[in-house]
Chains A and B, each alone.
Chain A
Amino acid sequence: MKKIINSALFIVYVGMFFVSCSDTDTQDENPDNNQSFYKEVLSDLALNVITETYRSLNAQALTLQNAVDAMSVGDENALTTAKVAWQQTRAPWEQSEGFLYGPVDTEGIDPAIDSWPVDVNAINNILNSGNPITQSLLESNNEARGFHTLEYFLWGLEGTKPASALTNRELEYLKAAAANLQSKTEELYSGWLVSQGNFAGNFINAGNTGSIYASQKSALQEIAEGLSIIADEVANGKIEEPLNGNNGSAKPEAEESRFSNNSKLDFANNIRSIQNIYLGNYAGNVNNGLSAIVSENDSSLDVEIENLITDAINTIEAIPGTFTEAIINNREAVAQAQQKVRALQTLLDSKLLPLMSGL
């Protein structure tokens, strides 16, 4: 999950020792400019990409909650609306997995909303019990709440569940789970909001008192490492396990979003998370991303990273059919996508991280 290539970092670290006693470093010529430039990048990423992604996640989760509340047994349209709302909530979540630091981790939000696998026995036992299904019942049950529990109810194990097969008890569960998901996304969004938890402040004020990051460089490294970590997770976890997890053969049960057949989109959105942070873009708003720093230092690397990100997204989306089918019938196409993501991770590890360490 975190195969950051340390040899590269090691060399850079050693390099810093030598650089640190040179007074003719080009970057020292304009330390104030760099400081304000980095602050701009860090602020844009923290506010306009990360916090915005979470704002969007929370807004979609609210839509999902409303859609679930409107469901009833046999109402096919309402089920379809809820499925679409689930996918539209899933998208910003997957686009947030390039920055799994801060409240999403320290407040236990990731396991509460995206725990996998689903505990089908626990869900069935809860359904079959006489207990009212409430948010507080779900609080102690990470594996029976969150995205994948909702997915299980909306699509069913085979992905084809009709609205007529839903029960009132399942609807009660769905409503509690959707409300719980939304409360978690709100907690996550609030955790970053400057006016509330202000985790964003750690990046905006990096290097100053009040930030957990002792330097702007340290904050930029955190952001860059997050990109490598999700690339690794997609290539060597999310794709590798279903593709080869059974001693080199397919292991279908290891696919995460298989009830909804959303896996390809999940993976593409994970890489878009990298793209958003790299370019500083979210939802069409153009800001400063890591690219702004890279292009100043190594413009060809900047182009290389940008192209490889696009290439990886396109190759994932070009996998024919569903991911579930492809790991059996189009293994080569899946392997190609995996290869692109691995290449991206290697590039990030061998070039982007050292560049950030050397700032």
Chain B
Amino acid sequence: MKKTGFWILLAMLSLSCEKDPEVGYEALPNLNERVLAGGETTVFLTSSNAFSTPAANLSGSDLNKHLDGDLQFESVFVSAPSEINGGVGPIFNNSSCVACHPKDGRSAFPSNINQISGFFLRTSLPGQAEMGGPRPVPNFGKQLQNQAIFGYEAEVQFAVSYIQRPEIFGDGTKVMLQKPVYGIAESYIPFPEGALLSPRLAPPVFGLGLLEAIPAFYILSNEDVNDSDGDGISGKANYVHDPISNTVALGRFGWKANTATILEQCAGAYLEDMGITSPIFPTETGMGQSNGNDGMGDDPEIALEVVDEVAFYCKTLGVPAARNLNEAAVQRGSQLFESIQCAKCHIPKMITEYNPIQVLSNQVFYPYTDMLLHDMGEDMADNRPDFLANGREWKTRPLWGIGLTQIVNGHTHFLHDGRAKNITEAILWHGGEATTSKEAFKNLTAEERSDLLAFINAL
């Protein structure tokens, strides 16, 4: 652990020349250890490449595997048969990984909801399927594909309209939120009345290996399903069917923590987002539908090795370092982050133990998530259950890297469907268990709000 020693030395040295805090003020927290947002995987970039760089401690055959995965992540698929990258669709949402996760980052909400983009709707019927997951809608499945290869009909075209929802700060400042209301504009066969819809916008993909490697006990230690400590905040683990091991497992990924592993997430995205079959999911998503069978008999369209490389790539992307943690405004913001209880769910620090991917082993890192589900209130509710997550519950999103979104992706559309157009709006969308924190935020002074945003933007 040579580098750890190095960092301790660094911390000591950088402390030694720090100016004394201004007399008469409460000492501000020292946040230096949080610079290493991804532990030893941390990369020090503040450019548009901040999310798309291999973990700093990656080398040798692991680095080569990562770079092979990088090529796969960028590969664009075309309709089959093709001498290269054949098999997209027949129905799909997009044709490459990178198209939805540009620069390994976050999709913008599309200006036209039916253009090819990183946005789609999930669907299901009320109730639970056999394994406890959502009930597929017959002839539509659990994800709606609004694109199709030429000559095939997409499942649906999406529709969205907006309801204005004003929020007024304690100091009178007004913010107008736009609440999206989704629907189906067209469908290849009638879309069932009463089917549930839930929107998704593609999130960043760096640091996922660390999140996968957090010991389950560490996550569960923050669980408080019945709010027995009475702080108004529960925290509930999702337990999901893991189709790869065919067991019940702790859900970690997806906006409702409905997926146990990155490998499953990647294979699922190949299948449902791109229409690419793999040994993990060898059947076309629209099989049995009039628009779903390309008749090629070419499944699986990619080898397990490809899915594995892409999963490895996502697991071993470095996490960008936090910035400006020595600035007073950022430090004041971090105090507010604690005092108005953002940190109760966006728990700063997580750890890993031994991991087969060596660079992920025994790390201390700062994702700002508890990996648990929370009731986020009626306005955020999708009313679509997913395993143990009910229609009001969402998994706490990591906040690491959030301040670099504008530089990396040219926008600041946040939350599961990009409805928040900046961080302030994202906070104002919090309801349910986060209502007290949101109200506290609204009652901060303009300067305090600015400090809090300075802190979040430093992550």
Task: Please report the C-alpha to C-alpha distance between residue A139 and residue B111 in the assembled complex, in whole angstroms.
Answer: 14
Indicate if the CB atoms of A111 and B82 lie closer than 8 Å: no
A37: chain B residues within 8 A (beta carbon): none
A20: chain B residues within 8 A (beta carbon): 14
In residues 69-88 of chain B, which contact A (Cβ within 8 Å)?
Answer: 70-71, 74, 76, 78-85, 88
Indicate if the CB atoms of B48 and A143 lie closer than 8 Å: no
Indicate if the CB atoms of B79 and A119 lie closer than 8 Å: yes
Indicate if the CB atoms of A105 and B48 lie closer than 8 Å: yes
User: Which of A119, A120, A122 has the most C-beta atoms of chain B within 10 angstroms of its own C-beta?
Assistant: A119
Q: Report if B56 contacts A (CB, 8 A).
A: yes
Shortest beta-carbon distance from A142 to chain B in Å: 7
Shortest beta-carbon distance from B156 to chain A in Å: 14
Q: Report if B45 contacts A (CB, 8 A).
A: yes
A17: chain B residues within 8 A (beta carbon): 10, 13-14
Indicate if the CB atoms of B409 and A121 lie closer than 8 Å: no
Indicate if the CB atoms of B82 and A254 lie closer than 8 Å: no
Indicate if the CB atoms of B149 and A105 lie closer than 8 Å: no
* Closest chain A residue, CB of each to CB of B83: A253
User: Which of B95-103, B130-138, B226-234, B343-351 lies at the binding interface?
Assistant: B95-103
Q: Report if B49 contacts A (CB, 8 A).
A: yes
Chain B's interface size range is: 35 or more
Indicate if the CB atoms of A122 and B47 lie closer than 8 Å: no
User: Which of A72-80, A221-229, A278-286, A318-326 lies at the binding interface?
Assistant: A221-229
Indicate if the CB atoms of B54 and A3 lie closer than 8 Å: yes
In residues 1-49 of chain A, which contact B (Cβ within 8 Å)?
Answer: 1-4, 6-7, 9-10, 12-14, 17-18, 20-21
* Closest chain B residue, CB of each to CB of A13: B44
Q: Report if A126 contacts B (CB, 8 A).
A: yes
Shortest beta-carbon distance from B99 to chain A in Å: 6
Task: Please report the C-alpha to C-alpha distance between residue A1 and residue B54 in the assembled complex, in whole angstroms.
Answer: 10
Contact residue among B54, B78, B407 (Cβ-Cβ distance under 8 Å from A121): B78
Indicate if the CB atoms of A126 and B99 lie closer than 8 Å: no
Task: Please report the C-alpha to C-alpha distance between residue A121 and residue B53 in the assembled complex, in whole angstroms.
Answer: 35
* Closest chain A residue, CB of each to CB of B114: A140
Indicate if the CB atoms of B149 and A115 lie closer than 8 Å: no
Contact residue among B44, B71, B81, B102 (Cβ-Cβ distance under 8 Å from A9): B44
Q: Report if B43 contacts A (CB, 8 A).
A: yes
Indicate if the CB atoms of B44 and A115 lie closer than 8 Å: no
Indicate if the CB atoms of A221 and B47 lie closer than 8 Å: yes
Q: Report if B116 contacts A (CB, 8 A).
A: yes
Indicate if the CB atoms of A218 and B43 lie closer than 8 Å: no
Contact residue among A3, A117, A121, A254 (Cβ-Cβ distance under 8 Å from B80): A121
Contact residue among B53, B99, B323 (Cβ-Cβ distance under 8 Å from A111): B99
B48: chain A residues within 8 A (beta carbon): 101, 105, 222
With A1-B70, A10-B56, A106-B410 as known contacts, state yes or no: A125 contacts B151, CB within 8 Å. yes
Contact residue among A103, A118, A225, A237 (Cβ-Cβ distance under 8 Å from B49): A225
Q: Report if A336 contacts B (CB, 8 A).
A: no
Q: Report if B46 contacts A (CB, 8 A).
A: yes
A241: chain B residues within 8 A (beta carbon): 71
Indicate if the CB atoms of B150 and A229 lie closer than 8 Å: no
User: Which of A18, A126, A142 has the most C-beta atoms of chain B within 10 angstroms of its own C-beta?
Assistant: A142
A selection of 16 A-B contacts at a CB cut-off of 8 Å is A2-B49, A2-B54, A3-B63, A3-B67, A14-B6, A17-B10, A17-B14, A20-B14, A101-B48, A117-B76, A117-B78, A117-B85, A129-B150, A140-B116, A221-B45, A222-B49
A-B complex: 5 closest residue pairs judged by Cβ atoms: A106-B410, A21-B17, A119-B78, A222-B47, A6-B56
Q: A105-B103, A142-B95 are in contact. List 13 more A-B contacts (CB 8 A).
A: A9-B43, A17-B13, A105-B102, A105-B410, A117-B84, A119-B88, A121-B81, A122-B79, A125-B150, A212-B407, A214-B323, A241-B71, A254-B84
